[in-house]
A and B are shown apart, each in its own frame.
Chain A
Amino acid sequence: MISESILQGERVRLRPPAETDLLAFVRWLNDPEVRYWLSMADGPDLTLESEREWFDEMRADPAQVVWSIETEEGKAIGNLGLHGIDEAHGRGTLGIFIGEKEHWGRGYGTEAIRQVLRYAFSELGLRRIALGTDEDNLRAIRCYEKCGFVREGLQRAFRLRGGEPVNAVVMGVLREEWEGTDRGGSDGR
């Protein structure tokens, strides 16, 4: 699903992805250093056509919302999505990547996630956001911890990367935890 909501942070802006972004998505996701950390690591290269198919499915699926992450200069640098949104149980899963490598390690992901958590908990009314990431993706894990995610376990040999099984760390953040931090904003009395 395409959200009409634009989420504005201090240094990032999350906006609905457009068809004109697809070329950049293909370039990012075919970059070996980017896809190394993603579930498509061992899959075939993406094409504009395969990406267009993904885009159409995503738009038609009410259980997921995807945004493009832009810097303050208006340059698109990556994607962030909420997937598996289950309203009856109040939960969803978060997935993010920064495709422009020179923007890695500069806090864009952290800020983008904080914007989306606020949206998920206050606008969508979800209770829990979960994610999974490679056990050795320490930069990502640090970022998720900064955003309030807590480690909940380790799924053994969860995926293949370069043909080798990799463990996945499972992390989750609950609305009440998020509300109790300055990120939630509304405490203090």
Chain B
Amino acid sequence: MGADAVLEAATVRLRPVKVSDLPLLVRWANDRDVRHWLHRSERPPSTLESERERLRDRTWAEWCIEAADGRAIGLVRLRGIEDSQGCAELAIVIGEKGCWGRGYGTDAIRLVLRHAFGELGLRRVWLITDADNLRGQRCFEKCGFVPEALLRGHRLRYGQPLDMIAMGVLRDDWAPLRSEGGD
């Protein structure tokens, strides 16, 4: 699959991930505060090799999120684009903690949704997030996602079962939101 398109808004720019991003990806993946919110909390630390291997996984279309000053601050991904159901799963991580809570994630997701529902012609984008990740959920709701299911004990965090929430946004919900936003 892979992400070839470059997507741009005023505050963020999404570009394909490069091999030269690998050291950054390893640093983000091994940051305790970042891992806390990811399935990675239960997996061995990342290495250059493991991140390189992950980049080869073409089931995800992956973009690097750049702030307006060109600094790479995170990743956003879509999986399942090619399946005939018109659905894809979204995942996002802001690896630079200093950029948390500043709206970069919201802007990046809005760009990806516009691409998904526009160019890619998808009907539905969904995601799962930790039930206690309230900041994440607020951001997803701002982008049009609606909570759809509570997945009990869906993952472990430090060996303890953790509920996750599945959220979804349909093209039909999203189009009016977008025109309200006036972009």
Tell me if B's interface is mostly helix, strand, loop or mixed. strand
CB <8 Å contact, A91 and B86: no
A78 adjacent to chain B (CB < 8 Å)? no
CB <8 Å contact, B124 and A128: no
- A153 to B126: give the CA distance in the assembly, Å: 13
A residues 147-188 near B (Cβ < 8 Å) are 150, 152-160, 165, 170, 172, 174
Q: How many chain A residues touch the partner (CB < 8 A)?
A: 24
CB <8 Å contact, A153 and B149: yes
Which of B86, B123, B156 contacts A89 (CB under 8 A)? B156
Interface bits B147-162 vs A (CB < 8 Å: 1, else 0): 1111111111000010
- A152 to B124: give the CA distance in the assembly, Å: 19
From B85, B87, B126, residue with most partner A Cβ within 10 Å: B85
A residues 37-53 near B (Cβ < 8 Å) are 39, 42-43
A130 adjacent to chain B (CB < 8 Å)? yes
CB <8 Å contact, A155 and B149: yes
For the complex formed, measure the closest distance between the CB of B131 and the CB atoms of chain A, giving whole angstroms. 12
- A174 to B86: give the CA distance in the assembly, Å: 30
Which of A88, A152, A157, A165 contacts B151 (CB under 8 A)? A152
A90 adjacent to chain B (CB < 8 Å)? yes
Chain B interface extent, by class: 20 to 34
A35 adjacent to chain B (CB < 8 Å)? no
Q: A88-B42, A89-B39, A127-B161 are in contact. Are A159 and B85 (CB under 8 A)?
A: yes
- A156 to B87: give the CA distance in the assembly, Å: 11
Chain B, Cβ-Cβ closest to A165: B123
Which of A90, A128, A153, A159 contacts B148 (CB under 8 A)? A153
Q: Which residues of A contact B147 (CB under 8 A)?
A: 153
For the complex formed, measure the closest distance between the CB of A147 and the CB atoms of chain B, giving whole angstroms. 16
Which of B85, B123, B154, B156 contacts A39 (CB under 8 A)? B85
For the complex formed, measure the closest distance between the CB of A143 and the CB atoms of chain B, giving whole angstroms. 20
Q: Which residues of B contact A91 (CB under 8 A)?
A: 153-155
For the complex formed, measure the closest distance between the CB of B154 and the CB atoms of chain A, giving whole angstroms. 7
CB <8 Å contact, A156 and B168: yes
For the complex formed, measure the closest distance between the CB of B126 and the CB atoms of chain A, giving whole angstroms. 7
B residues 120-150 near A (Cβ < 8 Å) are 123-124, 126, 146-150
For the complex formed, measure the closest distance between the CB of B70 and the CB atoms of chain A, giving whole angstroms. 36
CB <8 Å contact, B150 and A152: yes
For the complex formed, measure the closest distance between the CB of B173 and the CB atoms of chain A, giving whole angstroms. 9
B166 adjacent to chain A (CB < 8 Å)? yes
For the complex formed, measure the closest distance between the CB of A141 and the CB atoms of chain B, giving whole angstroms. 14
B170 adjacent to chain A (CB < 8 Å)? yes
CB <8 Å contact, A157 and B170: yes
Q: A156-B124, A156-B170 are in contact. Are A42 and B153 (CB under 8 A)?
A: no
Q: A150-B152, A156-B170 are in contact. List 15 more A-B contacts (CB 8 A).
A: A88-B43, A91-B153, A128-B153, A128-B154, A153-B148, A153-B150, A155-B149, A157-B123, A157-B124, A159-B87, A170-B148, A170-B166, A174-B152, A174-B153, A174-B161
B residues apposed to A, CB below 8 Å: 39, 42-43, 84-87, 123-124, 126, 146-156, 161, 166, 168, 170
Cross-chain pairs A/B with CB under 8 angstroms, 17 sampled: A39-B85, A43-B84, A88-B43, A89-B155, A91-B154, A91-B155, A127-B153, A128-B161, A130-B154, A152-B152, A154-B148, A157-B124, A159-B85, A165-B124, A172-B151, A172-B153, A174-B161
